[in-house]
Amino acid sequence: MSLDVHYSLTSVPIERVAGVDRVEFERQHLNGVGRPVIVTDAMRSWAATETWSFDFFADRYGEETVIVTDRLAGATRGRRCKLGDFMVYSRFPALTSLAAVAGPTPFYLTSFSPFARHPELLRDFDEPYFVDNALRELQGPLWDWYVEQFSWIFIGPPGTLSPLHVDLFGTHAWLAQVCGRKHFLLYSPADRPYLYGGAFDPDAPDLERFPLLPQARPIEAVLEPGEVIAIPRGWAHRVIALEPAISLTFNFVNRSNLASHLVEVGRNLPLWARKLQAPGFREGSGATWGPDDLAGASRD
């Protein structure tokens, strides 16, 4: 099964490049407002492109329990199930019991961050060669904390939805498409005054309710298997799977967004504190404080 794509008449396509120089990538696509880009040659040496599949995850990790929801953010329903059962649902939704309780938007596995538990999966890919990531310097338990808190494998059937959102804490992100295709619609931080907090339907916007929306200038593309999309900090994006899909994503920080990252951490101290409360961070850093200490500091 595959969904049709209907491009917006006001959008422009995302640039596709190969052989990217790391310094030029940061200068052209991450500095300032930045500009999303699709890199077509970043996964060519990855074992994951040959081995990761629905059967691969079902055979190796199928007995693990996962939580699936009807969207990446703002979920309205969710279920616990075996990962193996969800791999069947992702390809043949009607053949599983999840179909009976799913709503208009299919269930989506968005909280699967297995790398600390299964570090062997890290051998199946490399960070894209064009990415400079300061968080790669973390080691031991702190590295485990990073890959648990800021990396995910997204899996699901056609129609799975990540509503329009901005990634947390001023981070950049890269997403690698392993299986299936996904449609990306993105808006620059400069368009934020026209986006109404993402309350509109990008496919059928109500211009009476959202009269400023035509002033926004989205960019969009279909991400193909074997391609990586880089999304700079602050870019709002909506993602829909067009086919049964497996994606890998990491958020990252470098000199181009370190200042904005720290500002966002300060603005969202309670949320950040909950991430820092994770056992991996506390073990690795020897932290003796907790979220209540940060919350108190933010009131002083």
β-bridge mates for residue 185, sequence order:
220, 238
Band the pLDDT of 289: cuts 50, 70, 90: low
In the prediction, which pLDDT does 285 show?
67
| Total structural domains within the chain | 1
| Residue 5 within a domain | no
| Residue 153 within a domain | yes
Question: In 3D, which of 247, 254, 183 has the Cα closest to residue 220?
Answer: 183
pLDDT tens digits, 86-101: 999 999 998 888 988 8
What range does the domain containing 47 cover?
12-267
pLDDT at 299 over 70: no
Sign of CA dihedral 128, 133, 135, 138: positive
pLDDT tens digits, 136-193: 888 888 888 899 999 999 999 999 999 999 999 999 999 999 999 999 999 999 999 9
Band the pLDDT of 208: cuts 50, 70, 90: very high
Contact assessment for residue 138 and residue 146, using Cβ atoms and an 8 Å cutoff: yes
| Residue 298 within a domain | no
Band the pLDDT of 296: cuts 50, 70, 90: low
Contact assessment for residue 276 and residue 251, using Cβ atoms and an 8 Å cutoff: no
Band the pLDDT of 293: cuts 50, 70, 90: low
Residues 6+ apart with CB under 8 A from 73: 162, 163, 165
| Residue 241 within a domain | yes
Residues 6+ apart with CB under 8 A from 195: 164, 187, 213, 216, 236
| Residue 4 within a domain | no
| Residue 272 within a domain | no
Residues 202, 17: Cα–Cα separation, whole Å? 27
Q: Specify the CATH number for the domain of residue 106.
A: 2.60.120.650
| Residue 283 within a domain | no
Identify the H or E element spanning 140.
Answer: helix 140-149
| Residue 71 within a domain | yes
